[in-house]
């Protein structure tokens, strides 16, 4: 008897075929009101779930008494109740390694776009406002040789350090829950307390997960430590930052600019004050969003799910305590 799998993220034909070999598949293509109703109708039959960007809380998952595994097409798992899943022995897996390089590329895209005012100046060309050679009013800031500060030295933080050190000759300083000797050796990176990093870095990049400990880690006090020429980059989760404090820091000139791929509420409201500022580059949570990487993530999630439904330990098990001894 094939297991019942509910997908709330569309997969490529190749991966759909892979799933159909092993499971009965219900696809919920959109998570609009109708899609969510269809998802709730499908949960009572579900043994496995696969998707991303949906908060799967106890209220919803109590509708799925036979659920064995959830495969998230993401590295972040802040939208899952890990304790609830572990208590129910539901195996949660994610897709950590396959998106590291692409997400770090996004981080550097934001560093360069924000420092060199790429969006603002490209729009000036597009709108016919390029009338003469650029003067100081339109100059950006250099990236090469500046101090790269990384908060959260995991896989993505390391990949960012690699780009800064080898690609742009940037001194790298970092803050993490513990020192990383291997990173220090590879990239001549130096550990700093959070306060020291905020005071010393020219680029301050958030690459840490959203947890109870990191929620609103960067707020009014932290922005006050930053230098007026510093540039703030967030490719982690919006809720790691107090967005009102960020807006005020930009308005007050406490920081020069911000490159943001994630926000407290997504999609970002069109009336957000962040969208009224030329020194803010805002992108739509595009961190891992390339054809190659999203297919690799989906492939990883499918294999994680099929392994779990076959009684095997998934390669990327998040809640290890849920795995039977
Ligand atoms: C996307 C991400 O949210 O992996 C994550 O945690 O934030 C991004 O890659 C995810 O891939 C949505 O499919």
Q: What are 117-169's pLDDT values in tens digits?
A: 999 999 999 999 999 999 999 999 999 999 999 999 999 999 999 999 999 99
> Tell me, what's the pLDDT at 324?
79
pTM for the model = 0.96
CATH 3.40.50.720 fits domain 100-282: yes
Kindly report, as residue ranges, where domains of CATH 3.40.50.720 are found in the chain: 3-96+291-324, 100-282
Tell me the pLDDT of the chain averaged across its residues. Answer: 97
Distances (CA, A) of 137 to 121, 134, 256: 11, 8, 14
Residue 85 Cα to ligand 1 midpoint, Å, equals 20
Q: Supply 300's token pair.
A: 């990883």
Does the beta carbon of 226 lie inside 6 Å of ligand 1? no
pLDDT digits (tens, 9 = 90+) for 274-311: 999 999 999 999 999 999 999 999 999 999 999 999 99
Residue 325 pLDDT greater than 70, yes or no: no
Spatial separation of the C-alpha atoms in residues 36 and 13, rounded to whole Å: 23
pLDDT digits (tens, 9 = 90+) for 12-45: 999 999 999 999 999 999 999 999 999 999 999 9
Residue 316 pLDDT greater than 90, yes or no: yes
> Tell me, what's the pLDDT at 250?
98
Instruction: Name the class of domain 3-96+291-324.
Output: alpha beta
Residue 72 Cα to ligand 1 midpoint, Å, equals 9
Catalytic residue among 38, 117, 285, 299: 285
Pairing label, strands 3-7, 48-51: parallel
> What's the pLDDT band for 1 if we cut at 50, 70, 90?
confident
Residue with the nearest Cα to atom 5 of ligand 1?
Answer: 74
Residue with the nearest Cα to atom 3 of ligand 1?
Answer: 74
pLDDT digits (tens, 9 = 90+) for 170-201: 999 999 999 999 999 999 999 999 999 999 99
Catalytic residue among 237, 256, 294, 299: 237
């Amino acid at each position: 008897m094939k297991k019942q799998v509910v997908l709330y993220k569309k997969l490529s034909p190749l991966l759909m075929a892979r799933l159909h070999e092993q499971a009965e598949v219900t696809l919920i293509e959109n998570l609009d009101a109708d899609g969510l109703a269809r998802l709730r109708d499908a949960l009572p039959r579900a043994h496995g779930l696969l998707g991303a960007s949906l908060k799967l809380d106890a209220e919803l998952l109590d509708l799925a008494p036979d659920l064995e595994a959830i495969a998230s097409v993401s590295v972040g798992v802040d939208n899952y109740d890990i304790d609830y899943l572990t208590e129910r022995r539901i195996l949660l897996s994610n897709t950590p390694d396959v998106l590291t390089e692409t997400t770090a590329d996004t981080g550097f895209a934001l560093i360069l776009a924000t420092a060199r005012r790429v969006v603002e100046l490209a729009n000036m060309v597009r709108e016919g406002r390029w009338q003469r050679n650029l003067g100081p009013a339109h100059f950006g800031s250099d990236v090469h040789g500046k101090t790269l500060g990384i908060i959260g030295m995991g896989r993505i933080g390391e990949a960012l350090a690699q780009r800064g050190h080898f690609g742009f000759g940037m001194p790298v300083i970092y803050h993490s829950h513990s020192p990383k000797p291997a990173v220090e050796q590879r990239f001549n990176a130096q550990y700093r307390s959070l306060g020291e990093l905020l005071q010393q870095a020219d680029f301050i990049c958030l690459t840490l997960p959203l947890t109870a400990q990191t929620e609103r880690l960067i707020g009014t006090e932290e922005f006050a430590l930053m230098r007026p020429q510093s540039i703030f980059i967030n490719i982690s989760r919006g809720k790691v930052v107090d967005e009102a404090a960020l807006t005020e820091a930009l308005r007050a000139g406490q920081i020069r600019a911000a490159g943001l791929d994630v926000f407290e509420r997504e999609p970002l409201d069109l009336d957000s004050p962040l969208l009224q500022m030329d020194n803010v580059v805002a992108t739509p949570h595009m961190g891992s969003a390339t054809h190659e990487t999203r297919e690799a993530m989906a492939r990883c999630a499918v294999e994680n799910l099929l392994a779990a439904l076959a009684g095997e330990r998934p390669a990327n098990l998040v809640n290890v305590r849920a795995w039977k001894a």
